[in-house]
Structures are given as C-alpha cells and as structure tokens.
Structure 1
Amino acid sequence: MRSRVGLRQARRPVPTLLRGIYLPRSTDAAAFAMATYGIPLLVLATTDSAALTGLAFVLEWVPRLGAFAFVGALVDRHGTTAVLRAASAGRALVVLAAAFILPTQAAGLGATVTVMLLAASTGLLTECSYIAAETAGGVAGRGLGARAHRVQSVLIGIDQVATLSGPALAGVLLRWAGAAGMLMVIAVFSLLTSVLAPRQDHQAKPVEPQPVLQGLHTGWSTLRSLPALGWLVAGLTVSNLTVALLQAATPVIIVKQLGHSTADVGLIWSVAAVASLFAIALCRRSIDRFGLWPVGAVSATIAASACLAVSFTDTYGSYLTLIAVLMTGEGGMTVVLRTLRSRLIPAPVFGATLSLTILLLLLPFPLAGVLVATVPPAQLGHVITVCAALQALGLFAAFTRLRTTPALRTSFA
C-alpha cells in the first residue's frame, strides 16, 4: 500500500507557473482588491459618515499589521499551501456571514457594528492569504535566479489587473446589487483561492514553534544585514503614508466633496491600474537593459510629483488622472522592491523577513485612517500636501543612498 502511494505521488505532474502560481494569485488578488477598496465604500454607504469610514480603514489595517507578527513564521513552518487555504476559506465564511446578516439589519448601531467587524476580520484574513501567496511567488522567482524580476513582473501585473477590476466591480455591485451581492462575489473568489492554492513541496522543520518576537527578530536581523533592501523599504514606508492617505480619503473626497457615486470611486483605481500595467511592462524591459536603480529612481520621481499635485485639484477628471500617474510610479517601485526582495532574502528566513518588510511598509495605513477620521474633510487637501512633501524627501534620501549600491545597478540582460 505504501509503495502505491509513493508511486502515485512520484507520478504527480509538477504544476506550471500558470496553474501553480499565477492562477491562485489571480483569484486571491481579486478578493484582496474587492475587500480592500469595497469595504470602506460599504461602510460609507451604510453609515454615511466620513469619520466612521476613516475608522473602518483603521480597523481594516490594524489586524493586517498584527498578522505579520505570526503569519510569516506559520508559512515557514507549515508551507504556503496550508496557510493560503485556511485564510481564504476563513475569509469566505466571514463575508458570507455578513452577506446574510446585513440585509436583516436596519441602518443603525447593528449595521455599523457588523460592517466594522467585517472590516477588521477581512483585513486580518486577507493579509494572511497575501503573505502566503507572496511567499509562493518568491519561491518560484528565486528558482529562476537572474530572471526573478520576470516572475515578479507577472505577479505585479496580476495584482494590477485585480486593482483594475476589483474596485470598479465592488463599486458597481454595491450600487446595483447591494452589500450582499458584493460580498457574495468576494466569497466566490476566496473559495476559488482555497481550492487552487499552489502545491509547493514543504517539509515541516523539526524544531519547536518559533515565538512571535523571535520571528520578528529574525526578520529584523536579516533586513539589517541587507542594507540595500533596508534603505529601499525605509523610503517606501515614508512614501506609503501619502499613498495610504489618498486611498483612505478618496471615498470621502469623491462622494462627499465632488458629489460622485461609489461606482465612480472604484473607477478611479481601475483607470489608475491600467496605467500601472503599462508601467510594469515597460519596467520589465527597462530593468533588463538599465538595472534596478534607474527604473526605481524614475518611478519614485513620477510618484512624488503626482502626489504633490493631487492636493491642488478640484475636479473629478484631474483627480483621476493624477491618481493614475501615481499608480504608474508605484508600479515601477514595486517591481524594484519585489525583485530585490526575492534575490537577496535567504530561503530559510524568507517568510519571516517578507512579513517584516510588508509590516514596515503598511505601518502608515492605520495612521492614514486616523487622519481621515479626525481631520475635517475640507482640510484633507492640506494634510495631503504635507504628506506628499515628506514622501518626496523620503524617496530622494533613499535613492540617493542607493545610487552606488551594486545590487541595484546591475542589469539583467
């Protein structure tokens, strides 16, 4: 009996990148985008409160940050398949429960509590699935050596396609099918991710479970030993404060100040994702020829310029255009970050270090939610201007420091 099982396993075909990595990443990214952009819209539609929308953004991101303290260690110990399946199935159950509960509640305290709990729980589970999917992509990219940036470009393209379709789909469904319709679609994508989770070989390590603080210490020690990655993460962390603030404030600005619908909010991020897709394709070829640093520096300049200009706009069309330019620069910097991350982080500590880097990059998101919840909507433009100036300074300092770093100057032709 044992020999038959072993023979059956030996004959099992090795999954292609399409089936083993790209397809499950696509369904997870779709659920990620719809939850990230759709749930704040759901809160605004349910409560009609800018302050509660900002608070929901905080509740959505604080659990995500907490996930990084332990999910990386779980992925290192149990593998990407188990973590991705469990997190995706859990997210499906949560949104299905909310889809059945919300229609039975009238607007008021009950509905507010439901959407706030939904924001917190989906935030946690979505980040768990993201870390597992990102680790699977890192493993696949590392196996290709100098061509790792090509896998990362495809993965970023998948994320941008999800960002293109997810917000628009969430906004349209929320407007025409209600909260239940939007949540049911998120549940479908989550269940598909659980079924399609990549089957990567994993052997449990014969060690005692690693404490949370020890996992963070491992990631921090690895990051400190990689100065190039550390400087890039530091610059992008400062930059993300402005990006997060725009993400949190966009529903309030578009719906409350400019008088547009929730579908128009989703359209902004969808159009921006189209521009980002072109940038990612261009960056892939540019990295082959020029290396990581020139591509990253140009992308940083584009992103910082767009953020400085967006606070001065007062029309929907110009706001949409500048967000698209911002996403173009963000796409280029993300290609550089993911490529450098997959090439430099050692395999035995990849999950823990990946978790720490993403944790640092996402620290500004809860702060952005607090700003939206506490600052009057009429003053948000001034806050965006200050944050954009800090972003420009942070990116300038980071890429100036990295200008002579060999890991970012090498081309991949």
Structure 2
Amino acid sequence: MTHGRARGVYLPRLADAAAASMTTYGIPLLVLGTTNSASLTGVAFVLAWAPRLCTFALAGMAVDRFGPARVFRLTATARALVVGLAVPALIMTGDRTASVLVLLLAACAGCLTQFSFIAAESVGGAASREAGDEAHRVQSVLLSIDQAAGLVGPAAGGLLLQWGGSSGMLTVISGLSLVSAAIAPTARQKLVPTAETAGPVTQGWRTGWATLRVLPTLAWLVAGLALSNLTLGLLEAATPVIVVKELGRSSASVGVVWSCAALVSLLAVTVCRLAVDRWGLMRVGRWAAVVTVVPCFLIAHADSYAAYLVLTAVFMAGDSMLAVVLRTQRSNLIPAEVFASTLSVTVLILLLPYPLAGILMAVIDPAAIRTVITVCAMLQILGLLCAFTCGARSQPRHAR
C-alpha cells in the first residue's frame, strides 16, 4: 500500500514528535518537582540523552537493514509501554524510590526515542530526495512539525504535571506514542542489505564516519552546530532552575517559555523556506547564525521572566533556521544506500553536547549558570564561523 506524503510521512512524525517533546521537557520538570534539586535535574538531563549516544549505530543499522517503518512502529510501541508502566510504579513507591524510577524512565525513554527519530528522519530524507530541488520545502515542513509539537508539548507537559501530576503527563505521553505507532504506514520496505549494512554494527558505524569524511561541507556544518547545541542543551537543562528558582515562576511557566519559542520558531521556518527560494541555502544560513548567537549573550543578563522568554524565543528561531540548512544539506549530500548509518553519525555528533550540558548543570554552582551560558555562547560563535567559512569553500554550487 502506498501512502501520500501527508499520511506516510507527516502525520506519524507529528504524533511521535509530540510525545518526544513532552518527554524531553516534562521529565526534568518531574525530577525537579520530586527532588527539589538542581543537580539531580542535571543528572536527569544526562540520563535522558546519554543512552541515545550509545544506540546511534544500532539504530542506523536497524533502519538500513529492516526499514524505517518497522523500526518506527516497534520503538514507538515500546516507549508507550515503558511510560505507561511507569504510572502505577510511581504511585506505589515512596519519594526516594520514585526519584530513582524517574531517572530510569528518562534513560529508557531517551533510548527508544532515538530509534524512532532515526527512522522518522530516514523517511523524511527519502521524501526530500524525491522532491529534488524542492528538498528544502520538505525539510521545512518536517521541521515545522517538530516545532508545532514543541509548541504544544512543553506547555501541555507543564500544565499536566501541575494539575494532573505525574500520572496525567505520563499517560498522555504513552497515548501519543501508541497513536504514532498506529498511524505509521504498515507497508514494509523491502531492503536488500548491502555490504555497508549487512555487517555488524561496527561496520555501519565505520561506513557512516567514512561517508561524513568525504563530505566536508556537511562535516563542517555538523561540527559548528554541535557547538551551538552545547548552548541550547545548557539552556534546556537550566531553564527549569532559572525560571522556578531564580525568577519565582511555576512549572507551567517553564513550559510556556518553550511553547512561545516553538511558536516563533515555526514562523521562522516559514520565513526560511521563502528566503532560501530567493537567496540560497547557505546565505540564509549565515544570517540565521547571526540571529542565533546574539541572544545568547543577552540571556545571561536577563533579570525578568519576560526578557528571558523573548530572548529564548529569538535564539530558537535562529536555531530552527539553521536546522533547515542542516537537514537540507544532509538529504542532498548523503547517498541513499547509507543514509541511516551516516545520519546516525551526524546526529551523534550533534547530540553529544546535550549530556555534557547536563553534566555542567549537575556540577556547577547554580549561581554560576549564567556565566557558563556566556562561555558557551562564545564557543557557539567560533563553531558557526568555521561552519560558514571553511564549509563554504567546498559547497556545491547549486546549494549556494
């Protein structure tokens, strides 16, 4: 059975992204509410991301070998079961045991989400290749879906946690995961394992690295955005502490920050699509880098909730435009037969800063958070400068 782009690509991606968004932003809030500890909130952030780094090669190999549809359905179903079973477990345990269970939940949910993400990105990459010169439009729609999920997910998670407790939030996450598995296309993709994908996991890992090394434009862009993600990761880990502890707002206010940022990012992605049509991919990417780096220095000095919300939204708008550039380059440059394996390597590099940000959050004094954000902003500038200077020298002419 053949599905259209909306039914086969966009709708399953929307349900899965909504579940992932609530998981990413809701579980750290749950840990903060359970433990009242900034350090353990950072630990939860590490546990949410670290397992993903260990499963990239396996996820890429699984998708290349068995097809993205099958991997997507299985992992979304598994996440629904894990999160659903956590609801009665948390009800029947004491505070100390509940804290441990929430940390374990963060690790398990992060691992399963990574498999579904690689599968969904592989489907999106195939759709982009089919779109040809309009690949950036497909990636803009996919990113808009992610941003729409980011618009609803954090606010819904914060509200559910505040008014319905952990049971309400986790039940909704489990339900969304089941929906994404149910509406994913059931047609199995017939794949013939190649020499690159038929071997052990390490072979797929080496294939991904080898492919990335012969694509210097993509390699420089990934490296630059990895440093940018260090700032983003630190903001994600620190926002619950800054908003709740320093600015005296509720957990729902934390969700509002990310929902407003997602709304602005959604608008930015639409503008980016039109801008690329007129000025080209990399030129728009350079302007997006400027929009991204400026708010980082100002966030460190924001002394009100409104200022913090606005600056975070501007930062996320620029970051979303950079994501359009990266995703388009990735779908254009990576060969289809090794797409998932190479995708796994690029995503690994991009997500390595997230557990590092969690570690920083766990070990630094809360009073030093804003100073560390400033240092990360300086690293971000250096990374993006290299990405759009060194990488531009080997940029294919059609993408300039």
* TM-score (normalised: structure 1): 0.94
Q: CA deviation at 1:394?
A: 1.1
CA change 1:206–1:400 in 2 (3 A) is closer
Q: CA deviation at 1:84?
A: 0.4
- Superimposed CA distance per residue, residues 107-133 of structure 1 (whole angstroms, 9 cap, x where no aligned partner): 22x111110110000010011111111
Which residue of structure 2 lines up, in the alignment, with residue 4 of structure 1? none
SS state at 1:70 partner: helix
1:176 lines up with 2:176 in the alignment: no
1:65 lines up with 2:31 in the alignment: no
- Inter-partner Cα distance in structure 1 for 2:332 and 2:29: 37
2:69 and 2:188 in contact (8 A); partners too: no
- Inter-partner Cα distance in structure 2 for 1:17 and 1:170: 29
- Inter-partner Cα distance in structure 2 for 1:314 and 1:69: 42
1:295 lines up with 2:279 in the alignment: no
- Inter-partner Cα distance in structure 1 for 2:26 and 2:397: 36
1:250 lines up with 2:239 in the alignment: yes
Q: 2:329 aligns with which of 336, 340, 346?
A: 340
List gaps (5 residues or longer) in structure 2: none
Q: 2:219 aligns with which of 207, 222, 230?
A: 230
Q: CA deviation at 1:138?
A: 0.7
Which residue of structure 1 lines up, in the alignment, with residue 258 of structure 2? 269
1:283 lines up with 2:272 in the alignment: yes
Q: CA deviation at 1:238?
A: 1.1
Which residue of structure 2 lines up, in the alignment, with residue 8 of structure 1? none
Which residue of structure 2 lines up, in the alignment, with residue 327 of structure 1? 316
Which residue of structure 2 lines up, in the alignment, with residue 130 of structure 1? 117
Q: CA deviation at 1:200?
A: 5.8
- Superimposed CA distance per residue, residues 80-127 of structure 1 (whole angstroms, 9 cap, x where no aligned partner): 11100111001000111111111222322x111110110000010011
List gaps (5 residues or longer) in structure 1: 1-11
SS state at 1:403 partner: helix
Q: Report how many residues are paired.
A: 398
CA change 1:301–1:199 in 2 (3 A) is farther
Q: CA deviation at 1:46?
A: 0.9
Which residue of structure 1 lines up, in the alignment, with residue 107 of structure 2? 120
Give 1:97's aligned amino acid: L
Give 1:282's aligned amino acid: V
Q: 1:153 aligns with which of 137, 140, 154?
A: 140
1:250 and 1:265 in contact (8 A); partners too: yes
2:291 and 2:314 in contact (8 A); partners too: yes
Which residue of structure 2 lines up, in the alignment, with residue 99 of structure 1? 87
Give 2:49's aligned amino acid: W
Give 2:89's aligned amino acid: I
Structure showing greater Rg: 1
Greater Cα offset, 158-167 or 210-219 = 210-219
- Inter-partner Cα distance in structure 2 for 1:323 and 1:247: 10
Q: CA deviation at 1:140?
A: 1.1
1:164 lines up with 2:164 in the alignment: no
Among the aligned pairs, what percent are the same residue? 53
- Superimposed CA distance per residue, residues 272-319 of structure 1 (whole angstroms, 9 cap, x where no aligned partner): 111111110011011111111111000111111111211111111110
RMSD: 1.3
SS state at 1:204 partner: coil
- Inter-partner Cα distance in structure 2 for 1:403 and 1:79: 33
1:74 and 1:83 in contact (8 A); partners too: yes
Q: CA deviation at 1:45?
A: 0.7
Which residue of structure 2 lines up, in the alignment, with residue 7 of structure 1? none
* TM-score (normalised: structure 2): 0.97
- Superimposed CA distance per residue, residues 42-66 of structure 1 (whole angstroms, 9 cap, x where no aligned partner): 1111111111110010011000111
Greater Cα offset, 208-217 or 304-313 = 208-217
CA change 1:206–1:397 in 2 (3 A) is closer
Give 2:285's aligned amino acid: G
Q: CA deviation at 1:404?
A: 4.2
1:139 lines up with 2:126 in the alignment: yes
1:24 lines up with 2:12 in the alignment: yes
CA change 1:378–1:409 in 2 (3 A) is farther
Q: CA deviation at 1:206?
A: 4.9
